[in-house]
Amino acid sequence: MASVEMKNIVKKYGDGFPAVNDISLDIADGEFMILVGPSGCGKSTLLRMVVGLEDITSGDMIIAGQRVNDKAPRERNLSMVFQNYALYPHLSVFENIAFPLRLAKTPEAEVREKVNAAADVLELHEHLERKPANLSGGQRQRVAMGRAIVRDADVFLFDEPLSNLDAKLRGQMRTEIARLQRRLGITTIYVTHDQTEAMTLGDRVCVLRKGVIQQVASPRELYEQPVNLFVAGFIGSPPMNFLPAKLRNGTLSTPFGEITLDPKRSADIGDRDLVLVGIRPEFFEDASLVEGDKKQHGSTFRAKVDVTEWLGDSQFAYIPYDAPDEVVEQLKDLSRELDSDQLRTQAIVSIDSTSRIRSGREAEFWLDARKVHVFDPATGENLTRDPDAGAELTRIAAEEREEEIAEARESGLTVEG
């Protein structure tokens, strides 16, 4: 168990391109930290620098109070789960899990005991004598985790461990990893490009873009108080809608009618000719289903629905809108950067599953104005971010987390499996 501190970490490749640029990040003992970002943002490189598979160009990597920049991977006492598992195909599952112990020359009896304990946790008992080639994807994944937990490592590192599993298994393993980490209470760094994993697993999430940290915060803060367009667009599924708007006297004129901002927020921004309004899909609703007194918090507008998707518990509607060329261009760049490819300017709105709104018809929608964010289209900066509210969310998350860990450690002795 240990904390990890990164101070001004830089990674430059031979051609001088900084894959990781001046990253400073403190990860507390027992914390579950997620590094997230689209492909090529430097998250895997950063993880590999922590474990020592990649040289650090400049900056300090401090694990458990010791600078490890010049230490070989084996001297750092970390364990890592690779994206493709990297199991040893010539060894049985038992020997795969026992491999780190064998290297450490652990006595046979202790090896048996520890491997069996790990196999208990991961339910691998009946597979111990099999070779990795005969296992399913999920089982291989568990063997890789077994190899990581069998040793008393200071920090667990995960490099996109679930990206090779199918969707259903991914969900199960996600829960499994969360439970395991809570139980063991070991500092964990987890790299993913999947924002669902980031939201559900992390105590704190570090969003990276082109080798630079955008925001480090609890998932809730990222969701409710994103620092810029990039974070806002990356976190949340379906993603936040960005509508072009003109701001005059606290009133935003958007393609979906006028939205009135509360006085405090509009005062912060002042008048602008062009801003982007970030509205999460769930801020919309079918106007006919909104109760009377709630309605006053937002505005209503009429729009033609392109497509609806009914999912049983929820329903999405796609509403196309027109936007100035410069905004269209910028939104396209953003969506490309976020690894998605939005072809048309359309808003995705989440409406109640009982709504009778259907494709191809015009319908009336209600828009909750209280939580919308306003972004500067040039810099991407969030003009309406409330840092205090955000910090409060992260503080609450940290508190809850501490309670959870304390509870887990207390009851850890009696919990089985």
Q: Give the strand order in the sheet containing 257-260.
A: 257-260, 251-254, 241-248, 272-279, 373-375
Subset of 138-167 contacting another protein (CB under 8 A): 140, 147, 151, 164
**Phi, psi dihedrals of residue 17, rounded to the nearest 5°:** -75, 125
3-state SS of 241-309 is EEEEEEEECCEEEECCEEEECCHHHHHHHCCEEEEEEEECHHHEEEHHHCCHHHHCCEEEEEEECCEEE
Nearer to another protein, 87 or 201 (CB): 87
Q: Binding to another protein by residue 12, rule CB under 8 A?
A: no
CA distances to 219, 283, 312, 318, 365 from 359, in Å: 33, 20, 16, 9, 14
Q: Binding to another protein by residue 230, rule CB under 8 A?
A: no
User: Of 24-32, 68-76, 247-255, 297-305, which segment contacts another protein by CB under 8 A?
Assistant: 68-76
- Strand 272-279 to 241-248 pairing: antiparallel
Work out how close the CB of 250 gets to another protein at its nearest, in angstroms, rounded to a whole number: 54
Work out how close the CB of 341 gets to another protein at its nearest, in angstroms, rounded to a whole number: 25
Which of these, 63, 58, 146, 56, lies nearest to 100 by C-alpha position? Answer: 146
Work out how close the CB of 364 gets to another protein at its nearest, in angstroms, rounded to a whole number: 49
CA angle 343, 346, 351 (to 5 degrees): 135
- By rule CB under 8 A, what string of x and - marks binding of each residue 92-111 to another protein? -------xx--xx-------
- By rule CB under 8 A, what string of x and - marks binding of each residue 13-52 to another protein? --------------------------------------xx
Q: Binding to another protein by residue 80, rule CB under 8 A?
A: yes
Interface with another protein (CB under 8 A), residue from 82, 316, 318, 321:
82
23 within 8 A of 46, measured Cβ to Cβ: yes
Q: Binding to another protein by residue 86, rule CB under 8 A?
A: yes
- By rule CB under 8 A, what string of x and - marks binding of each residue 347-366 to another protein? --------------------
Interface with another protein (CB under 8 A), residue from 18, 137, 171, 250:
137
Q: State the number of binding residues for another protein (CB under 8 A).
A: 32
Which of these, 111, 183, 216, lies nearest to 119 by C-alpha position? Answer: 111
Work out how close the CB of 169 gets to another protein at its nearest, in angstroms, rounded to a whole number: 12
354 within 8 A of 289, measured Cβ to Cβ: yes
Tokens for 26?
């403190």
Location of structure tokens 């922590």: 50
Judged by the rule CB under 8 A, the positions of this chain that interact with another protein are 51-53, 72-74, 78-80, 82-90, 99-100, 103-104, 131-135, 137, 140, 147, 151, 164
